[in-house]
Amino acid sequence: MMQENVKHKCITKAYEHLRSIGKVHTKTDVANIMHASRPNVTAALNGDSKFLTDNFLERFNVAFDNMFNIKWLMTGVGDMLSSTSSAQPQPSAKAERLSDDEAYKVPLVPISALGGSLNDFNLAVKRADCESVISPIKDIDMAIKISGDSMEPEYPSGSQVLIKKVNERAFLEWGRVYVLNTCNGIVIKRLMPTADPNTVLCESINPKYPPFEVNLENVNGVYRVMMCMSFK
């Protein structure tokens, strides 16, 4: 019981810190950023031990860019903020606030996420090499263009997707669409689990394309698709 009380006090302090710096305003904001169920997140933030687990705390911290000291979140020991939380973010990894109308400028990475098969591209590009697009939502890392028809009709070829990097080892929401930066190239697919925890099943929306497996050891980055902007 004492440990549960410590976790509740720490998550409450973390939540209040996020509110104080304008990262969130409500518990619903936390749920949206975590891409998790609002009732479950609310229960965890209220101290319900069924939901306020170590796994939840890890997912919470990842969702907020590992801002907090995970040891502190779980035990109350140490500093609240991680040693890297004050570091300057990479220029290519954050949206820039454009104006007060909730619009944000993000880099459009000059590669395509293949709607078909893998290809020989790499996501390691500089912001200076990118044009920018306007995003209606914040906390977006970048935008990329879709190529191919395997994710149609939801993600038509030529459309742009807004993506945010996630920790694939800490949290993948099965059935959601992600962009994978693999050693063989960039691919956008709906991810499903396999019997092997080290691999994921990549599914197309277009039924004429068969699914395939990708080993996470061959993945350099996983990005959650937050929004698709179609210009058709």
- With a pLDDT cut of 90, the percent of the chain lying above it is 30
pLDDT, position 113: 56
Residue 90 pLDDT: 39
pLDDT at residue 95, rounded to an integer? 53
**What structural domains and CATH numbers belong to the chain?**
2-75 (1.10.260), 91-229 (2.10.109.10)
In 3D, which of 195, 190, 197 has the Cα closest to residue 217? 197
pLDDT value at residue 231: 56
- Which residues in the chain come in under a pLDDT of 70? 1-3, 84-103, 111-130, 168-170, 231-232
8 A C-beta contact, residue 158 and residue 138: no
Please report, for residues 13, 43, 61, 173, 230, the alpha-carbon distance to residue 22 in angstroms, rounded to integers and kept in the order given.
Answer: 14, 22, 16, 26, 30
The pLDDT of residue 11 is 95
Beta bridge partners, 179, equal 188, 223
- What is the pLDDT, as a whole number, of residue 126? 54
For tokens 């993948």, what's the residue? 172
pLDDT at position 7: 93
The Cβ-side half-sphere exposure at 189, using a 13 Å CA radius, reads 25
Is there a contact between 185 and 173 (Cβ–Cβ < 8 Å)? no
User: Residue 93's pLDDT is what?
Assistant: 42
For residue 114, what pLDDT is reported? 54
Per-residue model confidence (pLDDT) at position 78 = 92
Give the CA-trace dihedral at 109, 205, 30, 90, to 10 degrees: -20
For residue 170, the model assigns a pLDDT of 64
